[in-house]
Amino acid sequence: MMGCRHCGSPVETVFVDLGSSPPSNAYLTADRLSGPEVWYPLRVLVCESCWLVQTEDFTAAAELFDAEYAYFSGFSSGWLEHCDRYAEAMVNRFDLDEQSRVVEVASNDGTLLQHFGDRGVQCLGIEPTAGTASAARRLGLEVIEEFLTGELADRLVGDGLRADLLVANNVVAHVPDIDDFVAACRCVLAPAGVATFEFAHLVRLVEEAQFDTIYHEHFSYLSLTAFQSIATGAGLEIFDVEELPTHGGSLRVFVQVAATGIQAVSPAVSEMLVSEAATGVTSSPFYAGFQERANDIKDGLVRFLLDARRDGHSVMGYGAAAKGNTLLNYAGIRPDLLRSVVDRNPAKQGRFLPGSRVPIVEEAELTAIRPDHVLILPWNLRDEVVDQLSYVREWGATFVTAVPELAVW
Q: How far apart are CA 255 and CA 81, in angstroms?
A: 24
H or E segment to which residue 373 belongs: strand 373-376
Q: How far is CA 331 from CA 215, 237, 402, in A?
A: 14, 42, 11
Q: Is residue 298 part of a domain?
A: yes
CA–CA distance, 241 with 230 (Å, rounded to integer): 15
In a shared domain, residues 275 and 299: no
Answer whether residue 69 shows pLDDT above 50.
no
Let me know whether 165 and 278 are in one domain. Answer: yes
In whole angstroms, give the CA distance from residue 257 to residue 245. 27
Q: Which of 263, 287, 311 is the last residue of a domain?
A: 287
Q: Is 129 within a domain?
A: no
Residue 402 CA to residue 405 CA, distance in Å, equals 5
Decide if 16 is inside a domain. Answer: no
Domain boundary among 231, 263, 287: 287
Q: What residue numbers bound the domain in which 403 lies?
A: 290-408
User: Mean pLDDT, to the nearest integer, of 280-285?
Assistant: 97
- Looking up residue 246, the CATH number of its domain turns out to be 3.40.50.150
**Mean pLDDT estimate for the chain:** 94
pLDDT, residue 97, reads 97
pLDDT in tens, 288-319: 999 999 999 999 999 999 999 999 999 999 99
SS3 15: strand
> Are 236 and 365 within one domain?
no
Tell me the whole-structure pTM to 2 decimals.
0.92
Mark which of 287, 303, 322 sits at the end of a domain: 287
Say whether both 152 and 283 belong to one domain. Answer: yes
Residues 340 and 265 in one domain: no
Quote the CA–CA distance of 122 and 120 in Å, as a whole number: 7
Task: Quote the strand ranges of 28-86, DSSP E.
Answer: 40-46, 53-55
Q: Which domain CATH number covers 370?
A: 3.40.50.720
Residues 261 and 297 in one domain: no
Whether residues 295 and 371 share a domain: the answer is yes
81 belongs to a structural domain:
no
The mean per-residue pLDDT over the stretch 164-191 comes to 96
Residues of the chain above pLDDT 90, percent: 89
Note whether 161 and 267 are same-domain residues.
yes
Helices and strands (H, E) in the chain, number of each type: 13, 19
In a domain, 111, yes or no: no
* Residues 5/175, Cβ–Cβ less than 8 Å: no
CA distances from 95 to 194, 213, 222, 348 (A): 12, 35, 29, 39
* Residue type (1 letter), 192: A
- Chain CA centroid to CA 7, Å: 23
Say if residue 333 is in the same domain as residue 240: no
Do 267 and 304 sit in the same domain of this protein? no
Structural domain count, the chain? 2
